[in-house]
Structure 1
Amino acid sequence: MIDVQRLRVLRAVAEHGSFNQAAAALHLTPSAVSQHVAVLERSLGAQVVARSTRGITLTQAGRIMVQAAESIAAELAHAKQQVDQLSTGRTQLTIATFTSGGRFLLPGALAQLTAAHPRTVLHVREAEPEDSLPLVREGAVDLALAYHFDGPLPGQVSQNSSMEWTALMEDPLYVVLPEGHRLAGRSVLDIAELATEPWVLGCLKTEAYLQRYAERAGFDPEMRGTTTDYFFARSLVAAGLGISLIPSIALAPEVPGVRAVPIEEPGPTRHLGVATISRRRDHPRLATLINALQEQAAALDDT
């Protein structure tokens, strides 16, 4: 029989990429982690990790077992919720969300959910996708409102994952300029036209994204400031510190003294969606919430 604790250890090894880091996260010794993995391999009759001087990688058998470990952890968390419901008569849902998406999509969707299921106890926690998606996988949250930039879906969501991604909307990024800027009157901009401009950004991931687009356009952007708040970034633009790159849903409320201009297609875009455990996606309350989020996204798309 496969020991659940050994699956938990394998998950930690997969997440951290080494026995030492997994041991620190689990408050075990590296030797104990190695022994857990070795016993798991003997019980399976298959190697689950490949060891090298560069670290630890999962074998195909290891990936299968980590996926099973994720599913088991999520199901145990769900079972705990069901047991709690027996004593309270109320269902609890926990939602993780990134700030701008939560601000514009979540309130209306939660109002629809509570109207349809008034005995649902809701908990909301703020988290960026790199934090919220593992929480879904572990069963710590029921749904994550998240995003990814151009390219594949977030790394934790794949064809072989226990999670399912439901797309909500595309969220193009705009260039935000001071109102008196020489390019502020344009209806659309090519990002190459901004090669000599200083930048102030409202998100570290947006900075990395701009760097990729700038490299394609043949320039290295000059960074004058990086914040963790899009409103603050636009305020700095209004003050003349530089220009910015802001997702469309983060352009409200209006900041006096700035102008947002779209970028020529194909321009930089965020893709918004929700992640859930695949087997739980059709749970009545989750289904109601996902449908409500889709309605909110469609309404926002139409504005």
Structure 2
Amino acid sequence: MGRVSTTRMETFLVVARHSSIRRAATQLHITEAAVSAAVAHIEKQLGAKLIAKAGRGITLTEAGRIYAEYCRSILGLMNEAQAAVRHAETGRLRIGVVATAGEYVLLRPLAAFRNRYPDIELSLSVNPRDVLFLELHHHETDLVIAGRPPRDAGLVTRARRPSRLVVVGAPDHRADPLRTTWLLRGRGSGTRDATLGLLDQLQISPPTLTLGSHGAVLAAAREGLGVTLIHSDAIEADLESGALRIIPIDGTPLDRPWHAITTRTPTPTTRLFISHILDPAEVGPAAFEPG
């Protein structure tokens, strides 16, 4: 069996992502024939069918789905290996965050880190927690700031920052919070899961309204469309201005600290960033605590 080049692996992953030879060719700026040839070469080397026609596009076979997962890990590890041998202060750092942490927790420490180490190549992606942990598992990102990682995922919490989940609503929203509409984040959100868990604990089934983004949920709560469970970090300004108020509910507040999470083998630059966010002299009250 011959080897499959990383270029062909990357091409196959783009095909898998788009479920289309044509869209993959457009993204890669090559011909459709070249994309098809790359996939056919891999199939020949593996002796397995990786894609099948599905309407006007394609779908992955079971072998294709398995191979795509391995490709993600292999390419992620290769990129991580290149970063691992570079000097920490001139390396690369890819951070993934959930929306709330990205807006209210990470920016100040990240700005201080940028000023302290201007030669480090930084990138920041905002995604639901499930996506972030999958990317970290495949070595496609170096560090994640989110809630607690899933058990038995092979991931390591390096630092924590205290935070609480509280229920909030508009000051003039006087409806019974156990019967009023509860505003939810989109699927994959840890806060959504915590909200549904709280409703189960309270043994209530109130109306719910899914708004998707963190900003949309907050805006809806300010307008009196319902109440929502949210990290206290995200509402400090709204509480001070009177745009929102905390609503006492049995079982709240919930202790939900932020976690700085890596794989078992963080790069030198990742370790440098963890040391930075643990240092109150550098990041002040935004500092994390050892994990």
- Residue 51 (1) aligns with residue 52 (2): yes
RMSD (Å) for aligned C-alpha atoms:
5.0
- Residue 72 (1) aligns with residue 51 (2): no
Q: 2:165 maps to which residue?
A: 173
SS state of the match for residue 229, structure 1?
Answer: helix
Q: 1:190 maps to which residue?
A: none
Shift of 1:34: 3.7
Q: What pairs up with 1:159-238 in 2 under 5 angstroms?
A: 164=155, 166=157, 168=160, 172-179=164-171, 181-182=173-174, 193-195=177-179, 197-198=180-181, 203-204=185-186, 217-221=204-208, 228-229=214-215, 233=219, 237-238=221-222
Partner Cα separation in structure 2 for residue 269 and residue 17 of structure 1: 41
User: What stretches of structure 1 of length at least 5 have no aligned partner?
Assistant: 185-192
On the 8 A contact 2:147/2:257 being kept in 1, the answer is yes
SS state of the match for residue 35, structure 1?
Answer: helix
Shift of 1:5: 1.7
On the 8 A contact 1:175/1:261 being kept in 2, the answer is yes
Q: 2:236 maps to which residue?
A: 252
Shift of 1:3: 1.7
Partner Cα separation in structure 1 for residue 135 and residue 5 of structure 2: 22
On the 8 A contact 1:176/1:246 being kept in 2, the answer is yes
Shift of 1:286: 1.2
Q: 1:187 maps to which residue?
A: none
1:10 to 12, 30, 40: 12
On the 8 A contact 2:165/2:256 being kept in 1, the answer is yes
Partner Cα separation in structure 2 for residue 178 and residue 56 of structure 1: 46
On the 8 A contact 1:175/1:246 being kept in 2, the answer is yes
Partner Cα separation in structure 2 for residue 297 and residue 3 of structure 1: 41
Q: 1:36 maps to which residue?
A: 38
> Would the alpha carbon gap of residues 180 and 69 (structure 1) be closer, same or farther in structure 2, given more than 3 Å must change?
closer
Letter in 1 for 2:82: A
> Would the alpha carbon gap of residues 274 and 15 (structure 1) be closer, same or farther in structure 2, given more than 3 Å must change?
farther
Q: What pairs up with 1:259-274 in 2 under 5 angstroms?
A: 259-261=245-247, 263-265=249-251, 272-274=258-260
Partner Cα separation in structure 1 for residue 74 and residue 263 of structure 2: 8
Q: 2:268 maps to which residue?
A: 284
Shift of 1:119: 6.5
- Residue 127 (1) aligns with residue 119 (2): no
Letter in 1 for 2:246: A
User: What stretches of structure 2 of length at least 5 have no aligned partner?
Assistant: 280-286
Shift of 1:40: 1.1
Partner Cα separation in structure 1 for residue 269 and residue 107 of structure 2: 14
> Would the alpha carbon gap of residues 49 and 263 (structure 1) be closer, same or farther in structure 2, given more than 3 Å must change?
farther
Q: Identity percentage over the alignment?
A: 19
Partner Cα separation in structure 2 for residue 25 and residue 126 of structure 1: 20
* TM-score with structure 1 setting the length: 0.60
* TM-score with structure 2 setting the length: 0.62
On the 8 A contact 2:51/2:64 being kept in 1, the answer is no
Q: 1:188 maps to which residue?
A: none
SS state of the match for residue 236, structure 2?
Answer: coil
Partner Cα separation in structure 1 for residue 27 and residue 253 of structure 2: 40
SS state of the match for residue 120, structure 2?
Answer: strand
Shift of 1:7: 0.9
Shift of 1:166: 3.1
Q: 2:282 maps to which residue?
A: none
Shift of 1:176: 0.6
CA deviations 1:72-95 (Å, max 9, x no partner) are: 355347638968x7xxx8344343
